[in-house]
Structure 1
Amino acid sequence: MHKILLYINTINGGGAERVMVNLARALVEAGVDTTLVTSFRGDREYPLDPRVRRLLLEEEQLHQSRLQRNVGRITKLRRLCRQEKPDLLLAFMAEPNFRAVMATRGLPVKTVVSVRNDPEREYAGKAGRLVGKYLLPLADGCVFQTRDAKAWFPEKLQKKSAIIYNAVKPEFYEVQRAPVPGEIVTCGRLEEQKNHALLIEAFARVQVRHPDAVLKIYGEGSLRPMLERQIAALGLQGKAQLMGATRDVAAALRTASLFVLSSDYEGMPNALMEAMAAGVPCVSTDCPCGGPRELFGAELADRLAPCKDAAALADAMERALTGPEDGAAFRRRAAEFAPDKVYGTWMRYLERVMDGKSSNS
């Protein structure tokens, strides 16, 4: 039986955190001895399968300088690898990726890193580029989510990498839709990256021709007060609604006539993938690092709008609302990220790495 350690800072919200929790469950179901390691424990963590062992580098999050934090966590992660003797260490996100590569130097542990966001942002600045261009290629393998993300890194890393989409839970493929005409839905943290302000501005334009349309924004975050002020200033009270966080996204999608992603950048947007799997017609910004463009393909490329362009986003939304109902086309595209397909790809790739055969995969 293979033994794998998964490492991420926390499983407290966020798309990458959810993917890792789901992957841990899939690995243990496949008979892999699976341990999830986090730097610290979060306040509102995703539920972890009880068959997955859980370890912490810190009992409580330590507030230190970046140098102290990284040196301390690399030391603890290396000690853990020596104790646990896993066949492979898999890390998600920029700092955990860097720590994983450094912690396993000279140890008989294969290391796989995974890039979960736009590398132009995740590996920005001189230090970030040093990590991305020179240190990450020391890993035994890497999982990307898009071709654009893969192309950012040196050929040395590309040659031993794989592109694997996120898996969407079966419940989204099973949604029985009962769309309410004009109901527009989005899901995402109320933070700058998601650019809900752009969506609200675009919705105000749509409202002129579709006065019965309603926008429901699911999520919480620091920008709620600002978005509330914007809604009031545009006279959209009761029309643009901040719904708060929800644990039942599938139910929120059931009545949607349209799903809109307005992000400035994404890795591979889980919320958009879930809407596609549910058969909801979608519109998205053509945000780096190419996730929505890759998900939609040429068939649905007219549903993309340039980032930060409210007029173009409004036009795409209006085309979707007034054109033929094409949710089935989105559901067909979503077959690419059905759980069995995605987790089968993960297992085959990780096994190749552990067997020393990841190059040119």
Structure 2
Amino acid sequence: MKIVHVISGLRVGGAETALLNLVSESREAGVRHLVISLSSADAMAERLRAAGAEVRLLGMRPGIPNPLHLVRLTQWIVAARPDIVQTWMYHADLLGGGAALLARLALRINGSGHRLALVWGIRRTEVPTVKVGVLLKLLARVCAMTSNWMPDQIICCAEAAFRTHADYGYARARMRVIHNGFDIQKFVPDATARASFLGELGLPARSILIGIVGRANPAKDYDNFLRAAALLHQRVADCHFVMIGREVDDRNEPLARSMGELGLRGACHLLGSRNNLHEIMPAFDILCLSSRTEGLPTVVGEAMACGVPCVVTDVGDTGQLVGDTGRIVPPCDSVRLAGALQEMAMLSRDQRRDLGKVARERIVQSFSIAACWQKYRDMYTMLLRAKGVTL
């Protein structure tokens, strides 16, 4: 089986990580992958190549689309002659979907008889509003209008994403949910990580490390997290807050200003973007997700795989992911978030470790990459059989 993936960009993020996981897991099955990034963002490119994928960058820039990019993308798909074109997120769904249809036409005209299936990917829980971005909202509207004839299947990363997009006008009959899979071989508990990381931060052994991982974006609601952290720090002075993500660093003036106003400067540690999360996460005593919107958050699954109990907001399918292994609170409620974090912080280290063990077992049993890839493979096979293609 050969799959061409079309994705908006290759920055470090949830969709990009999910793609990397699928490429890595399917390597031994002999599946060939070509990953095409619409933009020139390539932070994940080398990792994808190391996992066995061919990677190409289309080099689109923000602004008015250049028709030549659609032509080049179509040419790449025709040359690859894939069985599946899998697109990721709105931009790629529309542009990659259009290129896939043109590629089908070109292959039919040249008499090759080659058939391909087109699969869209929805990664957001909420349909974008004008406040999020006029262009993004327009893309989602056009995708909804064409969803009943352009893609053969539409994959949602969460039940919540399925509901909101179906209600928005996406073709419900073509939609299904496949949850993200998590790398249970890479993200594992490490009894030595905590002491090592405390030493790196220069903190005493009694410290309670609360981690949060996510880019500086309104959806992640760092304001909610910082307000909750300020409340918690007044009650449990040993808590320290480790913040990791793109633009989550000392150069982020709004974050720095908020920390200063809330009296958190000595308690917050901004590490920016890090490529070694699998080494850092096992050091956390607690992982926090303060988002106001999510699908199925990658960082929560990875933390659980590392044996770290989580305190999360009830957005997307996050509650379904965490189950009874952590604490779940409403979004945009820093008082409730602080209370849940305090409850978790006041547990003994052994009690948190026991919760973490149950959390890892939940990921291994129900949310592994292997289980995710098998669902994707079964779906691809079903679509190709419907087109008369035998693998």
Q: Could you tell me the TM-score, scaled by structure 1's length?
A: 0.87
Counterpart among 310, 314, 329 of residue 358 in structure 2: 329
The answer to whether 1:186 aligns with 2:223 is no
Do structure 1's residue 277 and structure 2's residue 305 form an aligned pair?
Answer: yes
C-alpha contact (below 8 Å) 2:3/2:32 kept by paired residues: yes
> AA paired with 1:141?
Q
Q: Is 1:201 paired with 2:227? A: yes
Match of 2:70 among 49, 56, 74: 74
Decide whether the 8 Å contact of 1:27 with 1:34 is kept in 2.
Answer: no
The alignment status of 1:266 with 2:265, answered yes or no, reads no
CA distances 1:169-214 after superposition (whole Å, capped 9, x unpaired) = 2345422245565211111112222122211110111112211111
- Would you say the 8 A contact 1:184–1:215 is kept in 2? yes
Aligned-residue CA RMSD (Å) = 2.5
- Deviation string 1:47-105 (CA, Å, 9 cap, x unpaired) is 223432223334xx44541xx34x44433322332332211100001110112322233
8 A Cα contact 2:310 2:322, kept in partner: no
Question: Matches of 2:209 and 2:17 in 1, distance apart?
Answer: 27
Partner of 2:121: 114
Aligned partner of 1:31: which letter?
A: G
Q: Quote the offset at 1:143 in angstroms.
A: 1.4
Q: How does 1:133-148 map to 2 (within 5 A)?
A: 133-138=144-149, 139-148=151-160
Q: Where does the alignment leave 5 or more consecutive residues of structure 2 unmatched? A: 105-114, 195-204
1:305 corresponding residue in structure 2: 329
Runs of 4+ in 1 over 4 A off after TM superposition: 122-126, 178-181
Partners in 1 of 2:329 and 2:322 — Cα distance?
12
Following superposition of structure 1 onto structure 2, how do residues 31-70 of structure 1 map, counting pairs within 5 Å? 31-42=30-41, 44-46=43-45, 47-50=47-50, 51-58=52-59, 61-65=60-64, 68-69=65-66
Distance change in 2, residues 1:129/1:236 (3 Å):
closer
Which SS does the other structure have where 2:308 is aligned? coil
TM-fit CA distance, 1:273: 0.9
Deviates more, 1:115-124 or 1:142-151: 115-124
Q: Distance in 2 between matches of 1:102 and 1:169?
A: 32
Shift of 1:261: 0.6
What residue number does 1:341 align with?
Answer: 371
1:350 paired residue number: 380
Q: Return 183-192 or 218-227, whichever deviates more.
A: 218-227
Q: TM-score, normalised by structure 2?
A: 0.81
Q: Secondary structure at the match of 2:118?
A: strand
Q: Secondary structure at the match of 1:104?
A: helix
Aligned 8 A contact 2:87 2:96 in 1: yes
CA gap of 1:238–1:172, structure 2 versus 1, over 3 A, is farther
SS in 2 for 1:90: strand
CA distance in structure 2 between the aligned counterparts of 1:226 and 1:153, rounded to whole angstroms: 33
Q: Specify the alignment match of 2:318 in structure 1.
A: 292
Paired with 1:77 and 1:225, the residues of 2 have a C-alpha distance of 39
Q: Percent identity?
A: 22
| Stretch of structure 1 that moved more, 256-265 or 132-141 | 132-141
Per-residue deviation, 1:134: 2.1
